Amino acid sequence: MGLDFINRVAKASVILALIQLPFVTVYLGWQIALGVLLGAFWGAANLMLIKYIVTGVITPNPKSKKRALILGAVKFPLLYGLGYLLLISEIFTPVSLLAGFTIIFLVAFLKALGRYLLDNKIISSEMPKNFNKE
């Protein structure tokens, strides 16, 4: 479970949020669908920025430390400022933003659970030997 896991979790949650967009738009309205999508973007951006800051601080290269400091200074006002603006705007309901924000954790949990089950051979990703055998 390397840093690639985090990239894949962020990518999968954005894809999941994009998939829900047409369905939620039809059944619950575009405001809720867009709120969920923006919440998912918020969560993914939060996770990726944490990743960049942590890796930048830990890497011994002074350039990456400087970059991490700049990202840290930008992250909090920008991300929380945007979140605050989204929350106070009357367009999106806070619950839809929260649902979108939770997607990333759901994806991370399910990915970790899948990996655990595969590593411990509780389920197998291989085809059975007699599969497709007449």
Partner 1 sequence: MDAGTALGFALPIGVAMAAIGSGLGLGKAVGSAMEAMGRQPEAAGKIQTGMIIGAAFIEALTIYALVTVFILQGKM
Which chain residues interact with partner 1 by CB under 8 A?
A: 1-3, 5-6, 9, 43, 46-47, 50-51, 54-55, 58, 83, 87-88, 94-95, 97-98, 101-102, 104-105, 108
What is the per-residue DSSP string for 59-120?
A: SS-HHHHHHHHHHHHHHHHHHHHHHHHHHHSSSS-HHHHHHHHHHHHHHHHHHHHHHHHHHT
Shortest distance (Å) from residue 46 CB to partner 1: 6
Residue closer to partner 1 by CB (options 51, 65) is 51
Closest CB to partner 1 among 4 and 126?
A: 4
Is 24:93 a contact under the CB 8 Å cutoff?
no
Quote the least distance from Cβ 13 to partner 1, whole Å: 11
Q: How far is the CB of 16 from partner 1 (least distance, A)?
A: 17
- Quote the least distance from Cβ 54 to partner 1, whole Å: 5
Q: How far apart are CA 14 and CA 100, in angstroms?
A: 9
Residue number, 33 or 97, with CB nearest to partner 1: 97
Q: How far apart are CA 31 and CA 91, in angstroms?
A: 7
Nearer to partner 1, 15 or 59 (CB): 59
29: region left, alpha or beta (phi > 0 left; psi from -120 to 50 alpha): left
